Amino acid sequence: MSGMNQVAPGKSELSIEWRANVGDYATCLAYSADGTLCAVGTGAGEVHVFDARNGSLRWKAMVHAGGVQSVDFHPKSPLLATSGQDGKARLLQARDGAPLAELPGTAAWTEQVAWSPDGTKLATASGRVVRLWNEDGSPHLATEEHPSTVTGLAWGRTGAQLATAAYGGVYIWSVESGARARHLPWKGSLISIAWSPDGKVIACGSQDCSVHFWRLSTAKDAEMTGYPFKSRVIAWDAKGHLLATSGEATATLWDFSGKGPEGSRPIQLAAHRGVLTALAFSPRRTVLASGAQDAGVILWEPRKSTLPMAYGFLDDYVSGLAWNPRLEAMTGIDGSGNVVTWSAR
């Protein structure tokens, strides 16, 4: 337990269901909507897809020379979208990796891909432009240029709107019309974005080590300050009530239920010894998984206790966490290419 300061009495180490190694820095991961597949991208440019139940390798392929930036499964069809350092996004057959379409970017790299909740559109962020594509890879529309590189994508809950983060604030685009974006201004660079599941709030981590948020009904904005480092990862719980933020070794959670979080004290979850690098809420319970530079992974029940409920370890700093959408399991990846799935029962 060298990676953590304390563990709640009576709590034990998470049970490992399976583990693998992808041979290079693991950059990103995602689960298929049915929970049967787990995709991991690498710094070498490969995508590895595992059977999420037992860890057997279904397929692997060199997809993006220079490195994979993001992966995302279609919510309804057996499709996998990827993006990378070669400036392109790609559509692959999720079951065997067969290439289906190549989606060109507008910069030297394409940083992000994200399917809409209904699966009818795919968003790709490349430099200052976001493009929307149809399921078959045909182009739908492109946004106007942002003031700087787009640093985040977040779909609204219906898929009718897409929010983007960049210097100068958040921009909300209409998917069908492509009309000029609604602008939520902020004089600074935003580096992360998350749209609450109830559709009411957009939150962003900022270059100035603050977390900024907007209530969409009024466009009223506020910020939380005092973070020693930039909040590069933020996450909402499934109800949109709790916002978990990074920016130090302690996870800071803001409660948006009722009249909060303005004027309230946040929930502080302290046990890591390194700066947080990953946060992910369970889709079924108010359980938060946190990962950090100390290679530790911790599960928390923030509504019940500020002590850890369970813990696990990788071998290097944690580069990503994801919950299986169907099974009581969670997967973590690290800077040495390790992939570990734990039981979260």
CA atoms within 13 A on the CB side of 15: 6
Number of Cβ within a 10 Å radius of residue 221: 15
pLDDT computed for residue 11 by the predictor: 57
pLDDT computed for residue 10 by the predictor: 44
pLDDT digits (tens, 9 = 90+) for 210-241: 999 999 999 999 999 999 999 999 999 999 99
Name the residue among 223, 221, 281 with its Cα closest to residue 251.
Answer: 281
Handedness of CA 281, 282, 283, 285 (dihedral sign): negative
What pLDDT band is residue 264 in, cutting at 50, 70 and 90?
Answer: confident
Q: What is the CA radius of gyration of the chain?
A: 19
Is the pLDDT at 314 greater than 50, yes or no? yes
What pLDDT band is residue 283 in, cutting at 50, 70 and 90?
Answer: very high
Dihedral of the alpha carbons of 92, 95, 96, 97, in degrees to the nearest 10: 20
Which one-letter amino acid corresponds to residue 52? A
* Residue 17 CA: distances (Å) to CA of 95, 96, 160, 201, 298: 22, 23, 38, 36, 16
pLDDT computed for residue 9 by the predictor: 41
Rounded CA-CA distance 198/191 in Å is 22
pLDDT computed for residue 6 by the predictor: 45
pLDDT computed for residue 179 by the predictor: 73
pLDDT computed for residue 167 by the predictor: 95
* Chain CA centroid to CA 138, Å: 25
What pLDDT band is residue 259 in, cutting at 50, 70 and 90?
Answer: confident
CA atoms within 13 A on the CB side of 43: 12
* Residue 27 CA: distances (Å) to CA of 9, 96, 147, 231, 308: 34, 21, 27, 18, 26
Rounded CA-CA distance 343/345 in Å is 6
Query: Average pLDDT for residues 58-77, to the nearest whole number?
Result: 98
17-142 CATH fold = Methylamine Dehydrogenase; Chain H (2.130.10)
Q: What is the mean pLDDT of the chain?
A: 94
Which one-letter amino acid corresponds to residue 293? Q
Number of Cβ within a 10 Å radius of residue 262: 11
Query: Average pLDDT for residues 45-53, to the nearest whole number?
Result: 98
pLDDT digits (tens, 9 = 90+) for 69-85: 999 999 999 999 999 99
Query: Average pLDDT for residues 186-205, to the nearest whole number?
Result: 96
Q: Do residues 64 and 88 make contact, with C-beta atoms less than 8 angstroms apart? A: yes
Rounded CA-CA distance 211/193 in Å is 10
Rounded CA-CA distance 52/19 in Å is 10
Query: Average pLDDT for residues 129-157, to the nearest whole number?
Result: 96
pLDDT computed for residue 328 by the predictor: 92
Is the pLDDT at 330 greater than 50, yes or no? yes
Dihedral of the alpha carbons of 179, 215, 169, 43, in degrees to the nearest 10: -100
Is the pLDDT at 8 greater than 50, yes or no? no
Query: Average pLDDT for residues 1-10, to the nearest whole number?
Result: 43
Q: Is pLDDT larger for residue 4 or for residue 49?
A: 49
pLDDT digits (tens, 9 = 90+) for 19-38: 999 999 999 999 999 999 99
Lowest mean pLDDT among 105-119, 249-263, 287-301: 249-263
Query: Residue 114: exposed, middle, or buried by beta-carbon count in 10 A (0-12, 13-18, 19+)?
Result: buried
- Residue 35 token pair: 């929970």
Is the pLDDT at 316 greater than 80, yes or no? yes
Task: Give Cβ neighbours of residue 313 (< 8 Å, ≥ 6 apart).
Answer: 3, 13, 295, 296, 297
Is the pLDDT at 177 greater than 80, yes or no? no
Q: Where are the domains of the chain?
A: 17-142
